[in-house]
Amino acid sequence: MKVFIARNIPEKAIEHLKEKGLEVSINRTSKHLTREQLISQCRDKDFLILVGNAKLDSYFFEQCAHLKGIALTAVGFDHIDLDAATKAGIPVSNTAGSLRKTTADIAFLLMIAVSRKAFFQAKEVREKQKKSFDFMEDLGIEIENKTLGIYGLGDIGLEFAKMAKAAYGMKIIYHNRTINKEAENLVGAKYVSFDNLLTRSDVISAHVNLSPETKYKFNKDAFEKMKKSAIFINTARGKIHQEEDLIAALQQGEIWGAGLDVTDPEPISPENPLLEMPTVCILPHIGSATVEARTKMAVMAANNIICAKTGSKMPQVINK
Ligand code: DGY
């Protein structure tokens, strides 16, 4: 049986597929394939490992209905028409649980970097070469004992909450579709309404999937309700916040700062005013970009394909 891998992945996962008797072909270029190129590559294949956020829409599933399984090398699946996959009878898996720590690290890093204007300060040093100690200029704010509000308390949100509590004694509040008893026991997290999350948090961090319910959840109305000293963190998806509204909220002092690992679109335009703001840190979607996490994700994707090959259920299937 044959599998196509849409971009390069760690060799360990490729070897694993080969050992299990799969014939592997890979797009070894550094370029994402277009939908047409993907369809053409999948024509004589049984399985696909999708790398990156290429959209698999209903047309793709009509053309590739012969596939016996698709493994994503990501947790997020907002780029996949899951209903169309199900209709075509194709199981799709993700890498749930593979990037808990790495993404929580980035949320933590952004929180501290924003609170101390670290990226802006570093840029000043690099570009102006003259910046040195100043007693009153460009001061940051502290986060010790403040309140961290988590929007979407799954494994990543909980990991971030644990770090914030251990390092800074932060109080944790959260808003979720369901009550998270584990988090309540582990970090004393308290469930609150979304409005309460907005008004009470000093730092508010999004850890939800992108869905019609979460799209543009952080908009003008939400930013207006937040504290003027609040920091907004997004390591989930760029469309969770409304970018124009975020820019306006920062310009008008509705909130204090923002740390974004995700933007809309990606990459962010070099002209975007967010890039010039002292209390904003932008990263290029590196939440899972460590050797360890990417290896784990690729091996997990390979294991899902191997299971599908033997006719068993993919362990991380998302269209049940
Ligand atoms: C994910 O796993 O969803 C990350 O955002 C990488 O795409």
- Domains of the chain in sequence order: 2-98+290-309 (3.40.50.720), 100-282 (3.40.50.720)
Closest Cα to atom 2 of ligand 1 = 74
Ligand 1 centre to CA of 73 (Å) is: 8
Query: Measured in angstroms, how far is the CA atom of residue 287 from the centroid of ligand 1?
Result: 7
Evaluate: CB of 210 within 6 angstroms of ligand 1: no
Q: Where are the beta strands (DSSP E) in the chain?
A: 2-5, 23-26, 47-50, 69-72, 92-93, 147-151, 171-175, 190-191, 203-206, 231-234, 257-260, 280-282
Task: Determine if ligand 1 sits within 6 Å of the CB of residue 288.
Answer: yes
Q: Is 244 designated active site?
A: no
Which structure tokens are listed for 50? 């999708």
Query: Ligand 1 within 6 A of 75 CB?
Result: yes
Nearest to 261 by CA among 242, 278, 236, 280: 236
Our answer on whether the CB atom of 287 is closer than 6 Å to any ligand 1 atom is yes
The residue to mutate among 55, 92, 99, 261, having the most atoms of ligand 1 within 8 angstroms of its beta carbon, is 99
Q: What is the per-residue pLDDT across 155-193, written as a single tens digit (0 to 9) for each?
A: 999 999 999 999 999 999 999 999 999 999 999 999 999
Per the rule left: phi > 0, alpha: psi between -120 and 50, beta: everything else, 188 is left
Share of the chain above pLDDT 70, in %: 100
Give the pLDDT confidence score for residue 229 in this predicted structure: 98
- pLDDT of 32 reads 87
Give whole-number Cα distances, 265 to 111, 242, 274, 317, in Å: 22, 11, 13, 28
SS (H, E, C) 26-63: ECCCCCCCCHHHHHHHHCCCCEEEECCCCCECHHHHHH
Catalytic residue chosen out of the listed positions 237, 241, 243, 254: 237
Going from the Cα of 239 to the center of ligand 1, the distance in angstroms, rounded, reads 14
The overall average pLDDT reported for the chain is 96
Q: Can you tell me whether residue 204 is helix, strand or coil?
A: strand
Is 285 labeled as catalytic in the residue annotation? yes
CA 126 to centroid of ligand 1, rounded, Å: 31
What are the pLDDT digits (tens) for 83-137? Answer: 999 999 999 999 999 999 999 999 999 999 999 999 999 999 899 876 788 899 9
CA–CA distance, 298 with 98 (Å, rounded to integer):
10
* pLDDT > 90 in the chain, percent: 94
Whether 309 shows a pLDDT value over 90: the answer reads yes
Q: What is the mean pLDDT of residues 214-236?
A: 98
Q: What pLDDT does residue 30 have?
A: 81
Confidence grade of residue 268 (pLDDT, cut at 50, 70, 90): very high
Name the pLDDT band for 293 (thresholds 50, 70, 90).
very high
Q: Could you count the other beta carbons within 10 Å of the beta carbon of residue 19?
A: 10
How many angstroms does the Cα of residue 31 sit away from the middle of ligand 1? 18
220, two tokens: 């003008």
> Cβ(74) to ligand 1 under 6 A?
yes
pLDDT of residue 274 exceeding 90, the answer is: yes
Q: Which mutation among 75, 98, 263, 294 tests ligand 1's pocket best, with the greatest number of atoms within 8 A of CB? A: 75
Q: Are 72 and 50 in contact (CB under 8 A)?
A: yes
Rounded Cα gap, residues 5 and 13, in angstroms:
11
- What is the DSSP pairing of strand 203-206 with strand 231-234? parallel
Task: Report the separation in Å between the CA atom of 74 and the middle of ligand 1, taken as the mean of its atom positions.
Answer: 4
Q: Annotated catalytic residue: which of 11, 15, 23, 266?
A: 266
pLDDT of residue 292: 97
The first and second tokens of residue 119, run together, are 């990226």
Which residue, judged by its Cα, is nearest atom 3 of ligand 1?
A: 76
Q: Residues, the chain, total?
A: 320
CA distance 255 to 292: 35
Ligand 1 centre distance from Cα of residue 211 (Å)? 14
Q: How far apart (Å, rounded) are the C-alpha atoms in residues 288 and 277?
A: 25
pLDDT for 96: 95
Confidence of residue 3 (pLDDT cuts 50, 70, 90): very high
Beta strand residue intervals within 214-271, DSSP E: 231-234, 257-260
Q: Whose CA is nearest to atom 4 of ligand 1?
A: 74
Q: Return the ligand 1 atom nearest residue 72 CA.
A: 2
Which pLDDT value is given to residue 132?
A: 85
Instruction: Please state, in angstroms and rounded to a whole number, the distance separating the CA atoms of residues 174 and 139.
Output: 29
Beta bridge partners of 2: 23
149 lines ligand 1 (CB under 6 A): no
Distances (CA, A) of 212 to 63, 110, 215, 216, 240: 26, 26, 5, 9, 10
237 is catalytic: yes
